[in-house]
Structure 1
Amino acid sequence: MRALTNTILSGGPIVVVLIVLSLGSIALILVKIAQLRGVTGGDARRSAAIGAWANGDRHAAIKALEGAASPADRIAQAAMQGLDRGRARAPLEAELEWRGNVELAALQRHIRLLELVAMISPLLGLLGTVLGMIEAFQELALAEGAANASLLAGGIWQALLTTAAGLLVAIPAAVAASLLSEKVDRAAGKIEVSVGQLFSGHDGAG
């Protein structure tokens, strides 16, 4: 454990910053995974509700989507309630659009932070490497004729440590941001499909 601590500290303050970024991104990834759980589900429930709506059983259709967990369920229920109250299609579609935007904004929140971590971590690692190399060659210059290969090698590996640390932080953050964004996109697609099916009168079976 002490050897690991010494190795980390040898990378300088930039490695400490990268460790903080890593811990923060891991916590954020776990929070987003929990938040996005189930946002693309509920297909069978929506299909049954839209089918009931198409068959004229509006009360059963609206009731089927009560307590819905996914954004598509909530938007579909809002659309049904608006149509049931006799609202005109144009203003109802405008309301559903902003409701959908609100839902998606909540799902997308903080994903940009992961993208930022993925972008700046390699740059911080590179900065640490450059600074470390400068320091290593300064020590080499000061040593003059007493310099040896081990002195230079030690400075170089400590400098390269920050590049490795930057990549180790950036790769998981980039992968997580991509996967989470893709899940949000799928949730948005399900919103559009459910509202489209409702307005067109299809039951979604096909």
Structure 2
Amino acid sequence: MSFSEALPHSTGRLLPAWAPSGPLAVLNPVGQLIVAGGPVIVVLLGMSILALTVVVAKVWQFASLELNQLRTVRHVLALHLEGESTEALAVARRCRNPAAAVLAQAIRGQCRQMPTAVVREEVERTSHALVISLRANLRLLEVTASLAPLLGLLGTVLGMIKAFQQIAQAENSINPSTLSGGIWEALLTTAVGLSIAIPVVAVHNWLEGRVEHFTHGLADVTTRVFTTDLSQDYPVTP
């Protein structure tokens, strides 16, 4: 039995007059969900739509910037270290990864023979601003993942209170189907809250991981502009 068939019988309620019909009948389960869960379900659905919007926007942003494609950025660094700074800057201008623009700042500073401390400070400032822009709106996903289960639990508590009020008013004429229907409705909000929180937590961690990986790569290429590679053995002069 599908959700749309089971929900009205289990709740004993009819859909409101505004429930869609005809071509919009696909929205009936959503309307039934709202009728059964009440305003808490409306809030949870709104949070889920907002979270989905943020996820789509961040995935598009990271894909358009080729965020974790650092091969070209490392090629720019290699050209600079080999003395081909002009070619390195030309390649950096064609690269969509924002790390290339930050690396180009460091290369320009060295080419202009500016003090190393000044160049590094400017590169760190730009890198920090870039990472903050990449993390923008990720906090919203974190808040959604934290609040969705709590809102679901709140809806369950309110539903249980309502169910027990009906029991108290019924006195000796308690209908088991009415009691079970009230409990079912109360537990629905918790299920919806968890259903929203679990995927949001997973996607939030994945996006945070991509930003973290980019941050480490950015720090690596910009630091190597100012340092010397000590991984190679050099002849020691006695």
TM over 0.5: yes
> What SS does structure 1 have at the residue aligned with 2:83?
coil
Runs ≥4 residues deviating over 3 A? 1-4
How does the TM-score come out when normalised to structure 2? 0.81
After superposition, the CA RMSD in angstroms is 1.5
Q: What are structure 2's unaligned runs of at least 5 residues?
A: 1-24, 232-238
Structure 1 match to 2:45: 19
The range that moved more, 193-202 or 10-19, is 193-202
Structure 2 match to 1:56: 83
8 A contact 1:21–1:117 mirrored in 2? yes
The answer on 1:179 being equivalent to 2:206 is: yes
The answer on 1:94 being equivalent to 2:128 is: no
Q: Within 1, Cα distance between the matches of 2:73 and 2:169?
A: 73
The answer on 1:161 being equivalent to 2:221 is: no
Structure 2 match to 1:42: 70
The range that moved more, 104-113 or 32-41, is 32-41
The answer on 1:85 being equivalent to 2:115 is: no
For residues 60-139 of structure 1, the aligned pairs below 5 Å read 60-139=87-166
Q: Within 2, Cα distance between the matches of 1:148 and 1:4?
A: 28
8 A contact 2:33–2:41 mirrored in 1? no
Q: Within 1, Cα distance between the matches of 2:103 and 2:168?
A: 71
User: What is the number of residues matched between the two proteins?
Assistant: 202
Structure 2 match to 1:10: 36
Alpha carbons of 1:56 and 1:19: their partners in 2 closer, same or farther (altered >3 Å)? same
2:115 aligned partner, one-letter code: A
RCO higher in structure (CA 8 A, sep ≥6): 1
Alpha carbons of 1:47 and 1:141: their partners in 2 closer, same or farther (altered >3 Å)? same
Kindly indicate which of the two structures has a greater share of residues assigned to helix: 1
